[in-house]
Every structure is written in C-alpha cells, then in structure tokens.
Amino acid sequence: MENFSTVTGQNTNAVYGFTSMLTNVVRDERPTHVAVAFDLSRQTFRLEEYAEYKAKRNKTPDEFKSQLPLIQQVLDRFGIRHLSLAGYEADDIIATLVTQGLDQDMEVLILTGDRDSLQLVTEHSTVLYPTRGVSELARMTPAVVEEKYGVPPHRYPELAALVGEDSDNLPGVPGVGPKTAAKWIATFDGLENLITQVDQVPGKAGESLRAHIDDVLRNRRLNALVRDLSLDLAIDDLGRAEWDRGATVELLDELEFRGELRTRIFDVFGGGEEPVTVESGFELNPISVDEGGLGTFLQGLEGPVGLYVRGVWGSGTGRVDGIAFATPGLAAYVDVTTLNPVDDEALAQWLAGPAPKQMHDAKGPLLALWAHGWTIQGLVLDTALAAYLAQPDQRSYELADLTVRYLRRELAGDVAEEQASLFGGEDDDQHSTNAMLHARAVVDLAEALSTEVERAGGHQLLTEIEQPLVSVLGGMERIGIAVDTDYLEDLERTFADEVRRAAEDAYEVIGKEINLGSPKQLQVVLFDELGMPKTKRTKTGYTTDADALQDLYKKTEHPFLLHLLRHRDVSRLRVTIEGLLKTVQPDGRIHTTFNQTIAATGRLSSTDPNLQNIPVRTEEGRRIRAGFVVGAGYESLMTADYSQIEMRIMAHLSQDVLLLDAFKSGMDFHSITASRVFGVPADEVSPEQRAKIKAMNYGLAYGLSAFGLSQQLGITPGEASVLMDEYFETFGGIRSYLGGVVDEARSTGFTETIMGRRRYLPDLTSDNRQRREMAERMALNAPIQGSAADLIKVAMLRTDAALKDAGLASRLLLQVHDELVFEVAPGERDRLEEVVRAGMGGAADLDVALDVSVGTGRSWHDAAH
C-alpha cells in the first residue's frame, strides 16, 4: 500500500491518483497527442456575468493546492504539455483543442469528470468519465449519452440549462427533472424552439418554465463551452515527446512512489522496467587496434560479436563512418575512413565470412556496408527483429528502449541521433565510446532476447524467415523501381487541371466560390443553402467526410455533390503523384523502405514513399501505376500475386468441407459459396448475391461484425445479422473455427499463425467490454492475416534463392500485400514465371492449393492480370 504523504509531510494522494489514471489511459488508448488543461483561477467571464457561479463550492483545500505543481512536474517529466488561460476554465481549453483535433480528422478522447464536456461528444470524440475513483472509466459515446440522458450530446447543455447544475450553482426550472426536460427538447426539436413556443407547454411545469425563462437562458449561456480560444499551443505541438527518464526517477523518489505504480510508469512511458542507475549501464573493456593489425584482432574474437555501424542510410544507400565491435570481454572501434588497404581487406573478408555476428535493425547498416563495397554474412541475431517477435504490439524497438525494457539499463548516447548526425566538429573519442556502448548493448540484449523469443515460440520464424528476409528487403531497396517522371509530371498536371475543373463546376452549381476543403463552408452550402438531408451530427455541425458525402449523393444525385466528390478524388491523386515525384532519386528510380516491425500481424509496410498505398480500385488510380516502368537493360515488369489467399487459409484452418470443396471445384469461388448460402445453382447466382458473399468471405478474415457488413453492403445491421447467420449455418466449420480461435486465445493469451507467429491479446479477459470486443476481433484477424504475411515472406525467400540458384539476372523489386513485382531480364520471361510460380505456390503445404496469377508488361499497370 502506498503512503499518501512523504516523510517531509508533503501530501501526494492527488498526484498518485492523477498519475495512475493518466498512465492507464496512455497504456490503454495509446494516444499520439496529449494535453492537460488546468483552471488558472475562479475569475472567469462566467463569474463576471453571474456572481453566484460555483458559489457553493468549497475553497480548494491547501493540501490539494500544494500538489498541483507536483502534477505539472509529472507531466513535464512525461513529455506531456499542460495549459491554462486567464479568464477561462479548463473545459474551454479542452473544447478548443477537441475542435482543432476534429478539424484535423483525429479521433479524440476527453478524460474529464465534468458533465458539461458531454456536449463535445461526437462519432469521433469520446468522453472518458470516471465512475469509480480513478480506476474505472465510462466511455461516453453519442449512443451512451443519449441512452443515459434522453438527448444527443449536442443537446445535453440544453437539458442541463433546464434542469440546472447544482455543482455550478446554476438553478434550473423548479419541478422539472431530466425526463421532462428531455421530453420537451425532443417534442420542440431543441431549446430554442421550446423557448419561442413556451406558451404551448401545458400544466404546472409549463408555468414554472415560463417563470424561469431568464434562468434557463443564463444557464445555457454559461454552460456553452468556448471552442475557439487563442492558445499558445496548437494540436501539432501536443505530440507525445520523449520522456525524461532520469528526471522522472528523481521525482518518483522524491514523491516516494514505489511498487506497482512505479513499475507501470516505466512500462508505459519508458518501454520497460525501471533502469538501473549506473554511469553508463554497460561495462566496457575498450582496446586499441594497431594499424595493420585489424585482421589479427578480428580472427581472435570469440563467440558472437556485437556490431554497431556508425553512419547514415536511407533511399537504398548509405555511408559507413565507423564500426564498433563488442564481446562480453572487450570492445573496439574502427574508423573506416582511415583504414589502410591491408586492414580494409581484412575487414571486408571478416564481414563476408561465417563469424557469428549480432546487430540491431541490420537492414539500414547493411545498405551502408553495401554502398562501401562490403557484404555481410553470419548474422545470427537481429535484436530489433527478436524483440518484435517476442512482443509484436510494442510501439518502439529502438535499441535504447529495449535496453531499458529487457536489461534495466540506460544506454548512453542516442542511436537515432548518432545515425542522423554528420559527426562533423565533434569529439571523436565520444563517438567511438558511444558506438562501442551500442555494440556491447547488442551483445547483452541478444542474450536476453534469445530467451524471450524461445518463450514466444518465435525462434524458427526469426532464423528461417525474418532474419534471412533482411538481405532480400535490403536488396529490393537498393535496386528500387524505375519511374517515368515525364509521364508522372504530365499526369500530375492532368489531375491538377481536373481539380480546377471540378472546383469550377462546383462553383457554377452554387453560384459562388468557396473553400471546398472547409467543413464549415460546406455545411452552410449543403444544409443551409441547398437544404440537403442532414448527415451525422458532430460538435462542429454535420459531418462532411467522404462516406457521408457519398451517401448523400446516392440520396440526392445533386450535381454539386458530384463535382465535390470528383474534386476530392482527383486532389488525392494529384497529392499522391507529387509525393512520389519528390522521392525519385538521381538514378531515376524510387527506393522505398520496407519495415518488418510495424504491423503486429507480421505484414510488411512501406515508407518514404509508401508504395503499398498506390490506388488500384479505380482506373484513374491505376494510371499512377503506369508511371512505374521497366528500367534500362530489362525487357518488362512481371507481377505475381496470390488469388484469394485469406480464404484459402481460412479453408485450411477451419477444415470446412463445403469451403474446401468450393475451392477444389475450380469454379468461381464467390459464386460457389453464394450458391451454397442462397440455395441456387452457381450459374444462377445474381451479381448482388455474389457481392454480398464476397464481402462476407473477405470480411471474416478481418473479424467483420454484423454492423461492419451492413456498412459495406448498405443494408441494416439486422439484415446483415441474418445474412451472417445463413452463412454460418451453411459453413458450420467456419463458425466452429472462429469461435475456437477466440476461446483458445482467451485461454493461452495469444493467437498463432500456421507458422507459429504469436500475437498476445491480454484484453481478451478485460472487464472493459469495448476493449474485450476489440481484442476478440484481433483474435479473429491475426491468424489469417498473419499466416498470409508469413506466406508472402516465405515466397520472397524461395523466389530470391531460386533466382540466384538459376543464375537469372531478373530481380525482385517490390512486395505489395500479396503481390510481388519483378524486373525481367532479356530472354528470361518464361523461366522467371516458372521460378515465381514454384516459389510462391510452394510457400506452404495447405489443404487448398495456392493459386498464383502472373502478368507482364512495360509498366506496373500493364503487368496487371
């Protein structure tokens, strides 16, 4: 049990409760931006209007006031900004920040115990309301607010104005409770109409209302939150900053916070257990390597050697400035820019030799080594990949974070800062020491992670898939893919013209020019001037997001909406092309970066630029792919992808007889499954029936709910539920499998793919229903999505190895979900297809054969199939 005062007599109960709740929310919700608002004083514009405002509240106890600076110190240590503003309440600051966040299409959470903030609740903003001390929070969504109070969130302050708020000393209408107030608001469609038609309200309650109209109007003015304050900080300034570990340790010691909360703080904010307070955390025995003696030194190293490459890399290339070597007994650093030919050759041979090596996040350093003319073999452990397999849901796999998490030590020097620096004009001795510390950290971390990976059942995945894939992905990044910049520039200009034309057409319809990207201006045009049906209500009006506008167009077919949607579509395409053109390197190719540790399911991702996000669903989007072309010296591009991979995995895992038979029939899979569900011959399945079952087939692999299916198909949730029942009645094996996946994961704590990739889901046993249901959807999704991710990785390894074994000059360029893109060398097209089909088709032994589709062409678009 924590004591809530220090030995010096400082009360800490409020600091403890606040810190505990904040830590839990950051852990559970993982926000990207955080701010905390404080009242500066009671002297606000509300008190100026109504002197009795909050008059019943007792004076803030001194023992609480003394803790406010400590709470703000906690926030400073955690890297979280806090704000206050003279003349306004914290709720007004919150309302302003929520408004800014929603304007930037953010999902917003509001942690508060003040019911006035319920007016901020929308489909994209939720109030987390404490219901039991600081340990339990209710999620106040629009549906929850309306169920509890009988009015939607934007009407809540109208209800409060009628009923009154005792905590704010705002008297309501005598004799009028929440039910009566909610009934009035619903009957008259809001407080404003109620006031204008007050003579129509019958009975004693009506008389009471008419007698206290002024109080109601005053209450409504005072409980309206200010949403446009001029603050010193904007949303972009509120991104979570790096926390100050050392200063946090000192503050926790000062507050005498120990035990479970302290452990939780370091787990959430520091990525692991509390670090040991030592000078560097790692013991070094640095030695100097004499000129000409590097070969002898390297040959004398025993056991796995930790390597740290000091340099820069990215866009498929890099530069090496130095390399640090470490074992448990010694460490050394070599400045590669000053090596003589003898030492250079010795280092090249050792790197390319079988000596066991350990590195952290090896792909970037690998690019730098290649650029120097060196290759590397013998990588026995990549600590970033090992940590990813041990805990695939972590936010960070930086070396410094992992040393805290697994070794309880601080790592001097920052890896990211080291790599980004050009190292000019700084202390070379400090650089070499930091590099050796990083190399030694890799050695110690590798030992700890080997145990963790074994515990997580990931050893085979690590050694046979993830680590071998590093060199394959590095090779793809190094090669890049050729781009027809003239074509893309012409296409960008075409889309820019289309953007202007769509805007002009939209302006002509409404007879004026507006900012088509402004939700507020669009709301005025759509709902006030054109009188269109209202979309979902948000705190800033009615939503004008893409889905809402598409639905509105289906209902009205209004030409303004047609041009507005067109403007949005082509604007997005133009921005995509602009981003691509900025990343074209001097060799005329784009060199994306593939990430192995981002998606918890095992999927690869692509950044700088994201080539997995090139549009493919529309012909105009596919035109962008036409800008990716075969490079000089090669004859074409080849694309190969898996057909219906998720459903084939589902059939294998579920062993549903009808599903297996549907694949083995050789007929159109979705028509066959639709015929089973609807009881009609496959050749009589209507397009609508096929579309419904196709959505069902793929949706199940993503943990699709009845509500999600209803949104996809444009039907009611009830109709979607009936359709799902019919589907599961037909494919009973799928129902049994999906139910078994969740039950087993709840028992073991994790899901597992065909190849043993685990995803840990502790929220499966959570008391919080929303968190538990989210974990259940993840449990349904992870085995199938993860198995598909594993299969494409195995296919890449098999295909890359086969290309080398066959002596082919053709090469792998891209991986995009279930698709691989190759550059075909002259005369190798047929042989390459054989290799690709064999490599992808043999990636796993499933009860349903893996079907591979192949196409070739001058461009990525032409090679589609």
Phi/psi for 717 (5° steps) reads -55, -35
528 and 401 in a common domain: no
Report the number of distinct structural domains present in the chain.
4
- Cis (ω within 30 of 0) for the bond into 609? yes
Q: Encoding tokens for residue 605?
A: 């991702």
Q: Which residue range(s) make up the domain with 578?
A: 482-590
Q: What distance in Å separates the CA atoms of residue 839 and residue 792, rounded to the nearest whole number?
A: 10
Give the pLDDT score at 416: 37
Tell me the CB-side half-sphere exposure of residue 274, using CA atoms within 13 A: 18
Q: What distance in Å separates the CA atoms of residue 722 and residue 735, rounded to the nearest whole number?
A: 14
Count of beta carbons in the 10 Å neighbourhood of residue 632 = 7
Residues in the chain predicted with pLDDT less than 50, given as ranges, are 1-3, 273, 275-280, 413-426
Give me the sign of the Cα torsion angle 723, 726, 730, 734.
Answer: positive
Q: What distance in Å separates the CA atoms of residue 315 and residue 477, rounded to the nearest whole number?
A: 7
The verdict on residue 121 lying in a domain is yes
C-alpha dihedral (718, 721, 722, 725), degrees to nearest 10: -160
408 and 509 in a common domain: no
Length of the chain equals 865
Give the pLDDT score at 90: 92
Q: Do 319 and 371 touch, CB atoms closer than 8 A?
A: yes
Predicted TM-score (pTM) of the model is 0.69
Closest C-alpha to 672, from 846, 664, 728:
664
| Concatenated DSSP letters of 639-695 | EEEESSHHHHHHHHHH--HHHHHHHHT-S-HHHHHHHHHHTS-GGG--HHHHHHHHH
580 and 678 in a common domain: no
Give me the sign of the Cα torsion angle 24, 28, 31, 37.
Answer: negative
Q: What is the per-residue pLDDT across 542-597, written as a single tens digit (0 to 9) for each?
A: 888 888 888 899 889 999 999 999 999 999 899 999 999 999 999 999 999 999 99
Residue 659 sits in a domain of what CATH number? 1.10.150.20
Phi/psi for 537 (5° steps) reads -75, 135
489 and 472 in a common domain: no
- Residue 855 has what DSSP assignment? E
Q: What distance in Å separates the CA atoms of residue 47 and residue 54, rounded to the nearest whole number?
A: 8
Q: What is the per-residue pLDDT across 296-320, written as a single tens digit (0 to 9) for each?
A: 999 999 889 999 999 999 999 999 9
Give the pLDDT score at 348: 97
507 and 471 in a common domain: no
CA 823 to chain centre: 32
The verdict on residue 41 lying in a domain is yes
Of 729, 751, 782, the position where a domain reaches its end is 782
Q: What distance in Å separates the CA atoms of residue 118 and residue 555, rounded to the nearest whole number?
A: 31
The verdict on residue 861 lying in a domain is no
The verdict on residue 219 lying in a domain is no
Give the pLDDT score at 5: 66
Closest C-alpha to 601, from 763, 753, 818, 794:
753
Rg of the chain on CA atoms, in Å: 31
Which residues lie closer than 8 Å to 303 by C-beta, 6 or more apart? 327, 328, 356
Closest C-alpha to 298, from 259, 258, 339:
339
Closest C-alpha to 387, from 376, 400, 375, 377:
400
| Concatenated DSSP letters of 188-210 | HTSHHHHHHTGGG--HHHHHHHH
Q: What distance in Å separates the CA atoms of residue 406 and residue 40, rounded to the nearest whole number?
A: 42
Q: What distance in Å separates the CA atoms of residue 10 and residue 580, rounded to the nearest whole number?
A: 57
The verdict on residue 65 lying in a domain is yes
Closest C-alpha to 474, from 581, 359, 396:
359
Strand partners, 157: none
Give me the sign of the Cα torsion angle 526, 532, 536, 541.
Answer: positive
Give the pLDDT score at 276: 44
* Triad 592, 594, 595: Cα angle to 5°: 140
The verdict on residue 339 lying in a domain is yes
Q: What distance in Å separates the CA atoms of residue 55 and residue 52, rounded to the nearest whole number?
A: 5
Q: Where are the beta strands (DSSP E) in 456-585?
A: 481-483, 537-538, 541-542
Phi/psi for 129 (5° steps) reads -110, 120
Q: Do 85 and 229 touch, CB atoms closer than 8 A?
A: yes
Which residues lie closer than 8 Å to 864 by C-beta, 6 or more apart? 622, 625, 639, 855, 857
Q: Encoding tokens for residue 500?
A: 């202007």
Of 479, 508, 525, the position where a domain reaches its end is 479
- Residue 373 has what DSSP assignment? T
Q: What distance in Å separates the CA atoms of residue 278 and residue 408, rounded to the nearest whole number?
A: 10
The verdict on residue 813 lying in a domain is no
106 and 78 in a common domain: yes
487 and 426 in a common domain: no
Give the pLDDT score at 2: 45
Q: What distance in Å separates the CA atoms of residue 324 and residue 306, rounded to the nearest whole number?
A: 8
Residue 352 sits in a domain of what CATH number? 3.30.420.10
514 and 406 in a common domain: no
Q: Do 396 and 271 touch, CB atoms closer than 8 A?
A: yes
Q: Encoding tokens for residue 707?
A: 């509500």
Q: Do 163 and 173 touch, CB atoms closer than 8 A?
A: yes
The verdict on residue 627 lying in a domain is no
Residue type at 719 in one-letter notation = E
752 and 683 in a common domain: yes
Q: Where are the beta strands (DSSP E) in 154-298?
A: 164-165, 170-171
320 and 449 in a common domain: yes
Greatest distance between any 2 Cα atoms in the chain? 103
Burial track 786-811 (b if 16+ CB lie within 10 A, e otherwise): bbbbbbbbbbbbbbbebbeeeebebb
Residue 231 sits in a domain of what CATH number? 3.40.50.1010
118 and 36 in a common domain: yes
Burial track 465-479 (b if 16+ CB lie within 10 A, e otherwise): bbbbbbbbbbbbbbb
- Residue 327 has what DSSP assignment? -
CA 802 to chain centre: 35
Q: What is the per-residue pLDDT across 157-201, written as a single tens digit (0 to 9) for each?
A: 999 999 998 888 888 999 899 999 999 999 999 999 999 999 999
233 and 101 in a common domain: yes
Give the pLDDT score at 693: 82
Which single residue is written with the structure tokens 């404080």? 38
Of 173, 208, 238, the position where a domain reaches its end is 238
Residue 795, SS3?
Answer: helix
Residue 581 sits in a domain of what CATH number? 1.20.1060.10
Give the pLDDT score at 680: 84
